[in-house]
Chains A and B, each alone.
Chain A
């Protein structure tokens, strides 16, 4: 019965930004009464897909969008999509703290009196009845600032539900549950389940694979702008299976000959690192060694790179990189750089590169202070350095004056690597180095990482890409939320992934 008219049908969605193809022919079908999980790494195209559906981006020609069998014109006009029954729960829930529950629910559709004033009684009635559909008991006159995290999520979901006829509509939850933990999360999940039992549909975007696995009926996995898997999760699914689908093709292992060449350089020791979620992290890296750290999404391992490299100040921790130990809680980026610790951050567009500046500007930026003549920047020197890095790292296009924004993701990452390698780091910290990078560039980047280590640099790779870790790392440690690091089995990917997702995560579980 559901086959006649899916709630939502996306066909052949493509999107190109300059040289970057971020979506190539994505199809997505969501049935009535279905919760569809959408999984993928950052840069896999999830958010672009949603932005096309909500009318922020214009898809390349050939895209078709159907809601309940009726064609929705592209580019999508959001009012039309809304009228067809699509609604979005915003990432940060989109609530105004200084307004009441009723005002937050009714925004965009206030009932009015003849005088044009908000009809407060009708507004409260709409809010109450919408909340009742969700089985939620909240006073519509309460200020949102007084609500608990779960209640806030309920208000945001009520707003998205407001205009849906019972049993109709498609609600998109764009990472909306990320502030929730434990029983709060269970409560919202149960509510969503009840909602779809009536025939409504939900698209759920989440970084938490546990959440996707437990809540979704089906999970669509995106990678590099393509649908790489459509998993049936009605009968439950293991998290590591989703993780496996999110990874790309395995990269062959690299020959590692570097270990012996490492001379008298001291090893890097990190002890008792405490961040916001990460507790008591300790590890050592030998010169020329590549250490991988991985963990389940949201467990806190993502914090480690910035904590080690001075980007975020940890609560405690000691670092030995030269002779004397350094107190990490008083560490900052200039000190880290002086100690030879360089960070290639996860969000290269935001934290790593100046997108509106040229390749050569980005590559030479950290070295400008070391120049002998700080008053006269030699353009010739910068261009020469730019050309050298372009040749050495195989960056395309080969123009040092090209704006970084015009480069593909993989080439942007190479620029970032070139920038920090020119500083001859003692410890290079790489955070998700192959994220949103195409297959060819991925291999190049991994090769570079091996090459850096061969010169005696200690390398820390913090990544969720099990394949990459196995391919390049000498050792892989699995972060566990209580703080300890378990030794990962690097013999094959599936074993490692199972290990990652078997580790207990107390703050994510039910009670």
Chain B
């Protein structure tokens, strides 16, 4: 039937490609290791650069302590952000949730004389409720998470102002403070809490069925559902866990700085998201992962600290975090494309 056989094809075309042969480079190749740990190298170079430039101010124990000791609340908060992102969800309200918890605690403990432990529990309960509200709108009513959490972020901020009034309330319970800022090998306990929480995250995500199910939900809800995973429960759970951890970060902040300004939560939003995305460039390239988040936090912290010591003040923090976020997301996108996730 094919009367018009294309005579020159065999000479013109160097044999039609027999379909893509999808042999990707091994996970242990040099290129892969490089992409896996490149950020750590950049971090080391950054620190080295600052140390060479400012041997008297940057390369000191106190700077080291400031970098690793002052970011605990931010690390915990970043893990809250991670909790939603790994499940393919997006939460913009976790910083406000943290602010709300950080406001509830001193208001109850200082102004109303409630026992500190009970105030902490109530603050965490309030945070959990925030997560439940997000989960209800996003998962049950199926409203886009960007809209819901942008709105709830502002709503929770308003609640904080309502509860705390316009001024910051102080809290001074030596027991609580001690539990958080007591120094151990030169670093406050809160640092170890943050690292421990990151390790718990890593354990759950890597070694427990729940973690693997979360990965599937985050990658493709339909596939996850057909594999028998309760997708709605995991999605809702991610918002609740994120809120609970954000509440925890609020308590750590209260204990570290002795109080909280009810409107102060929003400045924590961008750095924590930046750290989570920066973390996708390490350890498991293209994947949200807690160890990457941990590294991301201290990478950003090192950068800001160094720039501040160089004399750039005020604006540099915002600029560095913002720039860091965009660069991190771009790197993550490129890595993702190269590794071929999905």
Residues of A within 8 Å of B4, CB to CB, are 480, 484-487
How big is the A interface, by class?
Answer: 35 or more
Contact call A506/B16, Cβ cutoff below 8 A:
yes
Q: Does A97 contact B (CB under 8 A)?
A: yes
Is B12's CB under 8 angstroms from A280's CB? Answer: yes
**A13 CB, nearest partner CB in chain B, Å:** 19
**Interface 9-residue window, one of B162-170, B206-214, B245-253:** B206-214
A357 CB–B CB distance under 8 Å? no
Chain A residues with CB under 8 A of B3: 486-487
Q: A98-B284, A118-B209, A280-B12 are in contact. Are A148 and B22 (CB under 8 A)?
A: yes
Query: Contacts A279-B13, A486-B1, A507-B19; is A107 near B212 (CB within 8 Å)?
Result: yes
Complex partner residue of A279 from B16, B229, B342, CB under 8 angstroms: B16
- Any A CB within 8 A of the CB of B18: yes
Query: When A98-B284, A98-B341, A182-B19 are in contact, do A108 and B228 touch as well, CB less than 8 Å?
Result: yes
> Is B21 in the interface zone, CB < 8 Å from A?
yes
Docked-complex contact A108 and B213, CB < 8 angstroms: yes
Residues of chain A within 8 A of B27, CB atoms compared: 143, 145-146
Contacts known (A108-B227, A486-B1); A96 close to B216, Cβ less than 8 A: yes
Residues of the B chain whose Cβ atoms lie less than 8 Å from the Cβ of A87: 226
For A85-128 the 0/1 string (1 means CB < 8 A from B) is 00110101010111100010001111010001110000000000
Query: Which chain A residue shows the least CB distance to B227?
Result: A108
Tell me whether A110 and B23 are in contact (CB under 8 A).
no
Chain B nearest CB: distance from A466 CB in Å?
Answer: 14
Instruction: Fill in one digit per residue for B175-219: 1 if any A CB lies within 8 Å of its CB, else 0.
Output: 000000000000000000000000000000001110011011001
Q: Report if B2 contacts A (CB, 8 A).
A: yes
A79: interface (CB < 8 Å): yes
Specify the chain A residue showing the minimal Cβ separation from B286. Answer: A98
Q: How large is the interface on B (under 10, 10 to 19, 20 to 34, 35 or more residues)?
A: 35 or more
| Interface residue? B61 (CB, 8 A) | no
In the complex, whether B26 has a CB less than 8 A from a CB of chain A is: yes
Contact of B1 among A484, A485, A498, A506 (CB under 8 A): A498
Chain B residues near A110 (CB, 8 Å)?
209, 212
Contact of A90 among B13, B21, B22, B226 (CB under 8 A): B226
Q: Which of B3, B16, B23, B227 has the most CB of A within 10 A?
A: B227
Check: B223 CB closer than 8 A to any chain A CB: yes
Are B226 and A484 touching (Cβ within 8 A)?
no
Contact status of A504 and B287, CB under 8 A, knowing A108-B213, A118-B207, A146-B27:
no
> Assuming A98-B286, A107-B213, A146-B24, what are 5 further A-B pairs, CB within 8 angstroms?
A90-B220, A97-B341, A107-B212, A147-B22, A502-B1
Q: Which of B's residues lie within 8 Å of A, judged by CB? A: 1-6, 9, 12-13, 16, 18-24, 26-27, 207-209, 212-213, 215-216, 219-220, 222-229, 284, 286-287, 339-342
> Can you give 19 contacting A-B residue pairs, CB < 8 Å?
A79-B228, A90-B220, A96-B341, A98-B341, A107-B212, A108-B227, A116-B208, A117-B208, A118-B207, A145-B24, A145-B27, A145-B339, A149-B20, A181-B18, A182-B19, A280-B6, A485-B4, A502-B1, A503-B2
